[in-house]
Structure 1
Amino acid sequence: AGGISEALITTAAGLSVAIPSLMFYRFFRRRVDELVLNMEEESLKLVEVIHGEREPDRTSEAA
């Protein structure tokens, strides 16, 4: 019975670490995906401005 008890305790400890870790991983992975998408969109705008296909966006300039 001692071995089973120890196995259950270590399993519970492992799950208490794994579940929050997975939640944080998914949160940060989603955030990274959003940032990558935003960077791709902005880089496409920059390329279009450089090639003269688009006017520069003046709304983000500092005053």
Structure 2
Amino acid sequence: MLILLSVCLLSQPAQCYEDRIPMSYEGTNPFVCLRHAQSALAAWQESHPELHVARWRCAVRGTLPKDL
């Protein structure tokens, strides 16, 4: 599973891009991903203080959607 993110710069909120957080398990259950997403997002946000997470969602590896 992956967490797909739409992130924007705090200094320039109109400048956004997509990023992803790989999860440490290979399950396909979205509820498991949602359960672990909060801590993964908090850790990602702590290491990227110049960015703001605008949107996010879980996705199965290998089937990345074209839009978030």
**TM-score with structure 1 length normalisation?**
0.26
Larger relative contact order (Cα-Cα within 8 Å, sequence gap ≥ 6): 2
The structure that is helix-richer by fraction is 1
Greater share of residues in strand: 2
Query: Rg bigger for which structure?
Result: 1
